[in-house]
Structure 1
């Protein structure tokens, strides 16, 4: 179990690095000429007006075919998500431990990282917003198992990690982040992430109280 958690800790940075060198590179097909990109289409109609109209499933399959690291990206991402759930299912973890394991994850950074990559790849998707909302619900719900000191400490760690990783992996693109800078956008998202958790926290607390009274 100890080694499993060490692997779990490394799986997130492995996922991010391999994503950049696999699926992100594959998405660069959006910048290619029609002559170069059309032969690579699988499910995308050949008569689309722009290469950026390629279907996401085609980008996924092209990455699997062209970049072997994409398999490691998928494996590390799945392990990162499934390992805590498996340990919880086996009752080897308490809900508080799961909260501590998930709450330090720099979700605001991940949101902006994938959103910005979609922007420079000329693609649009609601996935980053969905992931942010799901993270708020899960972590906010689990936060009922922690005290307030732990809650704000873990969110502070996530915010610091967000700023550190953003300085390394997300350019300070003033055109994208206007009218603010990258760091301001990261801090704002971190605050929204924390406030969202608080809302879910109080809702879950209220439901638990009502159930106990019933």
Structure 2
């Protein structure tokens, strides 16, 4: 269920609104990393095709939400790319992070099951 959160959109929305309001986003990066770790750990028993499908939907929803709600503070904010491509790229990076955490958790789980049977 947490994978359905449109994090690529929320990441850029929070970043741009904080910049426009003259503030910083001190919890943006640590919060994103924490989210990726939690989702990666929770997805250990979920089939890879479902993870990919849900993340594809999340990226598409993030692009649609971004078109409607993200207002870049200036025209060079997303340069040399477009806003949509940056949101898609962020979604792909987050997906890779979740998959890496999931892989590490699966390896650790397999080692524990093989070396320390219950």
* TM, length-normalised to structure 1: 0.51
Q: Distance in 1 between matches of 2:37 and 2:75?
A: 31
1:128 and 2:25 are equivalent in the alignment: no
Choose 1 or 2 for highest CA Rg: 1
Please name the residue that 1:179 is paired with: 80
Gaps of 5+ in 2: none
Select the residue among 89, 99, 102 that pairs with 1:201.
Answer: 102
Secondary structure of the residue aligned to 1:126 is coil
Report the CA distance between 1:162 and its aligned residue. Answer: 0.4
Report the CA distance between 1:191 and its aligned residue. Answer: 0.6
Select the residue among 188, 201, 204 that pairs with 2:89.
Answer: 188
CA contact (8 A) 2:16 2:71 kept: no
Gaps of 5+ in 1: 1-100
Q: Distance in 2 between matches of 1:152 and 1:174?
A: 32
Report the CA distance between 1:195 and its aligned residue. Answer: 0.4
* TM, length-normalised to structure 2: 0.90
Report the CA distance between 1:138 and its aligned residue. Answer: 0.8
Q: Which has the higher mean CA deviation after the structures are superposed, 134-143 or 170-179?
A: 170-179
Q: How does 1:76-95 map to 2 (within 5 A)?
A: none
Q: Distance in 2 between matches of 1:105 and 1:161?
A: 9
Secondary structure of the residue aligned to 1:175 is coil
How many residue pairs get aligned? The number is 114
Q: Distance in 2 between matches of 1:164 and 1:187?
A: 11
Q: Distance in 2 between matches of 1:174 and 1:142?
A: 38
Report the CA distance between 1:121 and its aligned residue. Answer: 1.1
1:174/1:181 CA distance change after superposition, 3 Å: farther
Q: Distance in 2 between matches of 1:152 and 1:177?
A: 26
Report the CA distance between 1:171 and its aligned residue. Answer: 2.1
Please name the residue that 1:71 is paired with: none
Q: Distance in 2 between matches of 1:158 and 1:111?
A: 13
Indicate the structure whose relative CO is greater, using CA pairs within 8 Å and at least 6 residues apart.
Answer: 2
Please name the residue that 1:144 is paired with: 44
CA contact (8 A) 2:14 2:25 kept: no
